[in-house]
Structure 1
Amino acid sequence: MATFEEQLDSLLERAKSIVPPNKLKTAAEKQPADKWMNDVEIFYNNYLKDHTLGRRINTILFHRSTGAFEELVSCLESIREDDAFVNEKNGVSTVNIPKYRAKDVPEYDVFISHASKDKADLVEELYQSLNKLGVVIFYDKESLEWGDHWKDRILNGTKKAEFAIIVISENFFDREWTERELSEFLNRQNRNGQKLILPILHNITVSQLQEKYPSVADLQAIDSSKYNCDQIALLFARQLIKRLKSD
């Protein structure tokens, strides 16, 4: 069955090929317009009674005066532009988030935390693989703009991401900002009790991870030598879908 929107579009499209009755002379010539208005009345009874223009449409259909055709077209065009009503009739629900909670809504699907030296041989390709899937990513190379206060932007990104992919390598160790990012994500994960950190071991062993970041070593990690970037992107997509379903 056609959706509300499809039925509305069909009525408007048909109207383009119909000559208004007030421009015709014989009853036979007026039949297409009469049939169209009958279909509009059915559409009105099924969907439009609760619209702001519903009462007006009902009056036009009842009287069917000389200019009824043009008036109905005008009303339907206005309804077509009423996105909230169209979405409601199509079964698309919207959630109104209180202003005080807006700051908690994720802006990014994932934050990629990494050392700059790992960009060339892994992170750049991983970003491209995730991007191809439509994932919304905080990636410093793409997310930071000219003139940004980069420290503030990065810290905001750590708060606004649903997940964090942490590319942990020897280059990651003992770097001020990689460790600051990791600390932010660990604190968030411990505070919320929800999976957040997705570690990738890049050219290091589990033992090295255990020695350097024992709290992260308890998390299931993947090894970059065993998966290509497209495979890692798909693994992430599964995690994101699970989260969306649970919400």
Structure 2
Amino acid sequence: MADFEEQLNLLVKSGNKIYSPVDIGILGHDITTSQWINDVEIFYNNYLEKHPLGPRMRTLLIHRSENVVGELLSCLQSIKNDRSFMDKMNGIQSVNVPKYQARTLPEYDVFISHASKDKKALVEELYQSLKTLGISIFYDKESLEWGDKWKDKIIDGTQKAEFAIIVISENFFDREWTENELNEFLNRQNRNGQKLILPILHNITAEQLKEKYPSVADIQGIPSDKYSCDQIALLFAKQLIKRLKSV
């Protein structure tokens, strides 16, 4: 069954095809028009009685005046533009967050921590795969702007991300800022007791990870050679959905 918005769009589209403001004709002789009005009445009875335009539509459907198609189309178009009503009918709920709490909400779904040398081989493609899914990402190449104090911006990003995908490779080892980022996320995860770090082992073994970062070795990671970037993005989306459902 088509959802509310899809049904509404179909009604508007089909109504525009039959609507002629110059010569609407006699409704009783126009089966297509009559059928469309009947479809609108069914849609109205199912969804629109409580909309502010509901009483007007009820009157139009009862009297079916000569220009009823144009009038009903105008109502349907106005309802399409009523975003709060559309969101409600589509099951999208808005949450009003007090200003004092809004500052603590995550600004990014994920922070990608990586060594610059791994951008071309993996990170760029992963970023695009995540972006395609509509995921909000802190990625230095896109998030840092001209004139930013980049160290402050990165630290701020580590505090405002729901998750951290850590691409750990030999290029990651012993780099000041990759390890600073990792430490920030480890501290946050230990402090909050909530899953945060999602490691990707890129061309290294679990043994190498354990030797270099024992505190990360007991966190379940995935090897980059076993999953495509699209698959990793989908795995991340599942983690994000679980988190949102638990809130």
User: Shorter-chain TM-score: what band?
Assistant: 0.7 to 0.9
Following superposition, the deviation at residue 47 of structure 1 comes to 1.3
Q: Residues 175 and 53 from structure 1, CA distance in 2 versus in 1: closer, same or farther, beyond 3 angstroms?
A: same
State the number of aligned residues.
240
CA distance in 1, matches of 2:229, 2:21: 63
The aligned runs of 1:120-139 (5 Å cut-off) are 122=121, 125-133=122-130, 134=132, 136=135, 137-139=137-139
CA contact (8 A) 2:27 2:33 kept: no
Where in structure 2 are the equivalents of 1:86-235 lying within 5 Å?
A: 86-89=86-89, 91-98=90-97, 99-119=99-119, 122=121, 125-133=122-130, 134=132, 136=135, 137-169=137-169, 171-201=171-201, 209-210=209-210, 212-222=212-222, 227=225, 230-231=227-228, 234-235=231-232
The answer (yes or no) to whether the contact 1:105–1:160 under 8 Å persists in 2 is yes
Determine the structure 2 residue equivalent to 1:245.
242
Structure 1: how far apart are the matches of 2:67 and 2:104? Answer: 52
Residue identity (%): 56
Cα distance, 1:241 vs structure 2: 0.4
User: For 1:7 and 1:236, how far apart are their aligned partners in 2?
Assistant: 31
Deviations, residues 75-105 of structure 1 (Å, cap 9, x unaligned): 111112223323333x432241414443444
2-side partners of 1:223 and 1:39: how far apart?
54
Q: Give the alignment's TM-score, normalised by structure 2.
A: 0.76
Structure 1 vs Structure 2 CA RMSD = 3.3
TM-score (norm: length of structure 1):
0.76
Question: Would you say the 8 A contact 1:199–1:220 is kept in 2?
Answer: yes
Give 5+ residue unaligned stretches, structure 2. none
SS of the counterpart of 1:179?
A: helix
Structural mapping, 1:54-65, within 5 Å: 54-65=54-65
Relative to structure 1, the CA distance from residue 19 to residue 171 in structure 2 (aligned partners, 3 Å threshold; closer, same or farther) is: closer
Larger radius of gyration: 1
Give 1:35 shift: 4.1
The answer (yes or no) to whether the contact 2:108–2:160 under 8 Å persists in 1 is yes
